[in-house]
């Protein structure tokens, strides 16, 4: 028996993921679909056990996709590749590349090899089911802001609020923040974050994620120099006073997790609490902001 599968992969950014599946079914193609929840993207992989059929499938897809796009589907061009049968179960791993997300931060899945360049810090992540692999625009923004602020005067403590995979907390430690904390309301995310901390050789006494929610979390009395709140917009607005209390006077707050249409109303909840917007960034449908809390800058004793 042939050990190879002959495959075609299509990226689907339509949002209505069932439509492409119906069209693939209409062509009587064998396929499997995998969703990248962080990017809200689906990947359809058509497969065949015969090489001639695999190449015929590729040509059929090339011919059909322009018409499917006219129906409103946002589909990429098909990509043909061959795969060993025993690798089929790990096909999803192809969709997690090594990412260079800031001047000093590189994120790589645990199964990929990467040799760090001078000055780079490499974060290993097991994507699992937890939000935060660096692919999403909001995560990438927070990582870039952490890189920018790390090492500047008065930036020694960090809070990862809604930590997901724990990627932001790991980045903060690698870039020199001395006191780092993390929490998430989802116990599964907390479990995954702590596994990722161990994967990056971070001892539990140095950093352990805990289960908590934004409405009740109190944190350290003196506040944190930098807080990353990558949380859904309704929670950010509802919990704005408590979130504001986490940031020490003069400290920084990265607001992320909002659609562009949600950003200004969310920002408006924080401006009366003593914050000033110092940066805003929009990527695709997401807008994030870096805010500074009123008060004197200080170096932590």
Note whether residue 111 is domain-resident: no
Q: Output the tens digit of pLDDT for each of the chain's 301 residues.
A: 568 889 999 999 887 667 888 888 888 888 888 877 666 788 889 988 889 999 999 999 999 999 999 988 999 999 999 888 877 777 777 777 888 888 899 998 888 888 888 989 999 987 654 456 677 889 999 999 999 999 899 999 999 999 988 999 999 999 999 999 999 999 988 999 999 999 999 999 999 999 999 999 999 999 999 999 999 999 999 999 999 999 999 999 999 989 999 999 999 999 999 999 999 999 888 999 999 999 865 444 3
Q: Are residues 243 and 140 in the same domain?
A: yes
Give the CATH number of the domain where residue 244 resides.
Answer: 3.40.50.150
d(CA 279, CA 75): 33
Residues 6+ apart with CB under 8 A from 246: 159, 161, 217, 219, 223, 224, 227
**Number of domains into which the chain is organized:** 2
Note whether residue 240 is domain-resident: yes
What's the confidence (pLDDT) of residue 37?
A: 65
| Residue ranges making up the domain that contains 134 | 129-293
Q: Are residues 187 and 278 in the same domain?
A: yes
Q: Are residues 276 and 214 in the same domain?
A: yes
Q: Are residues 169 and 38 in the same domain?
A: no
Q: Are residues 236 and 89 in the same domain?
A: no
How crowded is residue 301: how many other Cβ atoms within 10 Å of its Cβ? Answer: 5
Asked whether the beta carbons of 75 and 67 are under 8 A apart, the reply is no
d(CA 189, CA 57): 39
Distances (CA, A) of 189 to 103, 166, 183, 210: 27, 8, 9, 10
The model's pTM is 0.77
Q: Is 256 helix (H, G, I), strand (E, B) or coil?
A: strand
Note whether residue 172 is domain-resident: yes
Note whether residue 301 is domain-resident: no
Q: Are residues 68 and 209 in the same domain?
A: no
Note whether residue 86 is domain-resident: yes
Residues 6+ apart with CB under 8 A from 25: none
Give the CATH number of the domain where residue 22 resides.
Answer: 3.30.70
Note whether residue 300 is domain-resident: no
Q: Are residues 161 and 279 in the same domain?
A: yes
How crowded is residue 69: how many other Cβ atoms within 10 Å of its Cβ? Answer: 12
Q: Which of 50, 78, 95 is the last residue of a domain?
A: 95
d(CA 9, CA 11): 7
Asked whether the beta carbons of 177 and 158 are under 8 A apart, the reply is yes
Q: How far is CA 185 from the centre of its chain?
A: 17
The secondary element (H helix, E strand) that includes residue 51 is: helix 51-70
Q: Are residues 200 and 284 in the same domain?
A: yes
Q: Are residues 144 and 280 in the same domain?
A: yes
Asked whether the beta carbons of 85 and 30 are under 8 A apart, the reply is no
Q: Are residues 220 and 85 in the same domain?
A: no
- The per-residue b/e assignment along 32-67, b for 16 or more CB within 10 angstroms, e otherwise, is eeeebebeebbbbbbbbeeeeebeebbeebeebbee
Q: Are residues 62 and 10 in the same domain?
A: yes
Note whether residue 175 is domain-resident: yes
Q: Are residues 83 and 148 in the same domain?
A: no
């Amino acid at each position: 028996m042939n050990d190879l599968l002959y495959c075609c992969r299509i990226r689907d950014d339509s949002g209505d993921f069932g439509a492409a599946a119906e069209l693939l079914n209409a062509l009587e193609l064998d396929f499997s679909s995998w969703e990248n929840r962080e990017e809200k993207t689906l990947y359809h992989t058509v497969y065949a056990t015969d090489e001639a059929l695999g190449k015929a499938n590729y040509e059929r897809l090339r011919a059909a996709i322009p018409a499917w796009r006219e129906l409103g589907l946002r589909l990429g061009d098909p990509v043909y590749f061959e795969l060993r049968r025993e690798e089929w179960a790990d096909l999803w791993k192809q969709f997690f590349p090594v990412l260079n997300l800031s001047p000093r931060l590189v994120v790589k899945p645990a199964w990929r090899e990467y040799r760090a360049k001078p000055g780079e810090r490499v974060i290993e992540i097991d994507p699992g089911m937890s939000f935060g692999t660096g692919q999403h625009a909001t995560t990438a923004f927070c990582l870039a802001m952490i890189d920018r602020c790390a090492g500047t005067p008065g930036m020694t403590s960090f809070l990862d609020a809604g930590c997901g995979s724990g990627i932001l907390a790991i980045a903060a430690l690698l870039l020199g923040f001395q006191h780092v904390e993390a929490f998430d309301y989802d116990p599964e995310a907390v479990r995954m974050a702590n596994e990722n901390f161990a994967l990056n050789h971070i001892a539990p006494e140095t950093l352990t994620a805990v289960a908590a929610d934004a409405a009740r979390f109190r944190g350290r009395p003196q506040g944190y120099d930098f807080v990353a709140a990558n949380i859904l917009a309704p929670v950010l607005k509802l919990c704005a006073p408590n979130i504001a209390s986490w940031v020490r006077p003069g400290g920084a707050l990265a607001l992320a997790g909002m659609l562009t249409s949600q950003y200004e109303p969310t920002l408006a909840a924080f401006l009366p609490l003593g914050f000033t917007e110092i940066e805003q960034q929009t990527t695709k449908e997401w807008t994030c902001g870096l805010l500074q809390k009123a008060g004197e800058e200080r170096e932590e004793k």
